[in-house]
Structure 1
Amino acid sequence: MTDTTAPALTPPTRPATPPATPPATPVVARTRDELREARSALDDGDVAVVMTMGALHEGHATLIHQARQAHRHVVVTIFLNPLQFGPKEDLSRYPRTFDADLEICTAAGVDLVFAPTPDVIYPDGDPGVRVSAGPLGDVLEGQARPGHFDGMLTVVGKLMHLTRCSAAYFGQKDAQQLLLIRRMCRDLDFPVRVVAVPTVREPDGLAMSSRNTYLTASDRETALCLSAALRAGAEAAPEGPSAVRRAARAVLVREPLALVDYLVLVHPDTLEDVPEWYRGEALLAVAGRVGTTRLIDNLPVLVGPGGGALETFTQA
């Protein structure tokens, strides 16, 4: 949920006609036939989709609100995709909160919620043909979670087809996912505009995530070192890449209970480490385990004179 410039923010454009008045309660479709019937009632091509795995929070609500402001109709998908979970990841542990999710969708003015089961999305079982993320899917999160991005792109592609959306909204927090979805749409000619929305954070700076529900009170305190490291790195951005990495790393080493998988400053198009001479936009990303929970976070930064934190990338 880019050509060679990925995870960039594509500013929402106002439709030629104003957004339609949302229904009092979204239509809920659970089968392909129900989806087809409900989607046919949305009588134009200006339909945005927000794809989720459930356990909705304010970050998801922000995606929905942005889509609602720019499009006549909004569809939310709630599907816990088994293809995205590796053998060491507990799919059964993922929170399932459909009633609360539906309340959020209702309050945000969603027209249609598609909440299928795996047998609806994959009627023949595990698909024999999948979308490959390629080399960009083998680094960072892909290295830690082999096959994750192939499963993600496969379901995103299927949901784009099934919902017949003209735009799809995704959070900047999942920067690598955003990059790969943009590349899929470009490389495979999906007629879908991918819109990035800035990361939504808790008041203490922690990036909103469904996985935050796994954190104990002490875990949560520890987890704040991730966003603090990103802020420290961004403050050092005017001095160059080495200063960014050094400042961010200094915060992380002071928190021994956070087991860091990676801390990188990479080019937003290629995910390759930027060299010391580099000046321009870069992705500062971190991942680590706090208690039993693995968390990710990132911050787009402008490196060089006048640099600092960005909400999203400005390249189009």
Structure 2
Amino acid sequence: MVQVLRTPAEFKAWRKNQTGNVGFVPTMGALHSGHEELLKNARRENQVVVLSIFVNPTQFNDPKDFEKYPLTWDQDLKIAETNKVDAIFYPRYPDMYPDEYRYKVSENSYSQLLDGAHRPGHFDGVLSVVMKLFNVVAPDKAYFGEKDFQQLTLIKGMVDAFFMDVEIVPVATVRENDGLAKSSRNLLLTPEDRQKAPIIYKTITTAKTSEEAAKALTAAGFAVDYVTDVHGRRFVAARLGAVRLIDNVQI
């Protein structure tokens, strides 16, 4: 039976009684097989597995995006049970932000590029909530997908900068059979847009340059935020209708 703990105090009391390594998978819910891959890695490498589910409002630069984020608690609970999760930390906003977000964690270089250039304040919200979650959960290892590669890099950097005692474990992007990177936002795509979405992966893996990829996506009907090659990876963010999709591949 999965323990569901709602407040930091409840979780910390439970955590004191745990022995062995704790593996942690922080999420915003709407779990899919990409999250399951993180949980499987955590289960394989640790004695205790913790999942958090918290749709973090401070990382949404668009309030409408926050409001329509998919909530699938019953399905999430089943996935947690199937993957032998020991505890779910499922807090409310007042418990996570008793200060009303007066205090935050900021990075002033890499977070300004790529997604950060298009989503002001997004990574402040991500880093702040992840630090809070690490302080509550006190994990030995935490698992993050490479689909959000910029996020993964920034969290690794934060852990190093603040001498935090947690190992960040990257997990390869999980894809649908047609190449589309697994994402909770895929649930928001119309059937027509879902058919079109795999063009992103096909384009970024076959185009010779990022400029060529951007032109091809625009021609296919995507509203392209960016296609950029940085440090041997190609990053993309593009919209289909109201849904913003991101991906990256090694080049």
Query: How many Å separate the matches in 2 of 1:119 and 1:63?
Result: 28
* CA-CA distance at 1:195 after TM superposition: 0.6
Query: How many Å separate the matches in 1 of 2:112 and 2:210?
Result: 22
What pairs with 1:202-213 in structure 2 (closer than 5 Å)? 202-213=176-187
Secondary structure at the counterpart of residue 174 of structure 1 = helix
Contact 2:214 2:224 survives alignment (8 Å)? no
1:152 is aligned to 2:126:
yes
1:290 is aligned to 2:216:
no
TM-score by length of 1: 0.76
Contact 2:214 2:226 survives alignment (8 Å)? no
* CA-CA distance at 1:51 after TM superposition: 0.3
Deviating 4+ runs (over 4 angstroms): none
1:192 is aligned to 2:166:
yes
Secondary structure at the counterpart of residue 213 of structure 1 = helix
1:98 is matched with which residue? 73
Query: How many Å separate the matches in 1 of 2:46 and 2:172?
Result: 18
TM-score by length of 2: 0.96
Query: How many Å separate the matches in 2 of 1:183 and 1:134?
Result: 12
Which residue type is aligned with residue 248 of structure 2?
Answer: N
What pairs with 1:1-316 in structure 2 (closer than 5 Å)? 25-44=1-20, 46-124=21-99, 126-233=100-207, 243-245=208-210, 248-249=213-214, 251-255=216-220, 257-267=221-231, 282-301=232-251
Secondary structure at the counterpart of residue 173 of structure 1 = helix
Q: Percent identity?
A: 42
Gaps of 5+ in 2: none
Which of these two proteins has the greater Rg computed from alpha carbons?
Answer: 1
CA RMSD, 1 decimal:
1.4
* CA-CA distance at 1:217 after TM superposition: 1.1
Gaps of 5+ in 1: 1-24, 234-242, 268-281, 302-316
Contact 1:52 1:77 survives alignment (8 Å)? yes
Which residue type is aligned with residue 111 of structure 1?
Answer: D
Contact 2:211 2:227 survives alignment (8 Å)? no
How many residues of Structure 1 are paired with residues of Structure 2 in the alignment?
251
Secondary structure at the counterpart of residue 177 of structure 2 = coil
Contact 1:201 1:208 survives alignment (8 Å)? yes
- Structure 1 residues 289-315: Cα deviation after superposition (integer angstroms, max 9, x where no partner): 1011011011122xxxxxxxxxxxxxx
- Which structure: greater helix fraction? 2
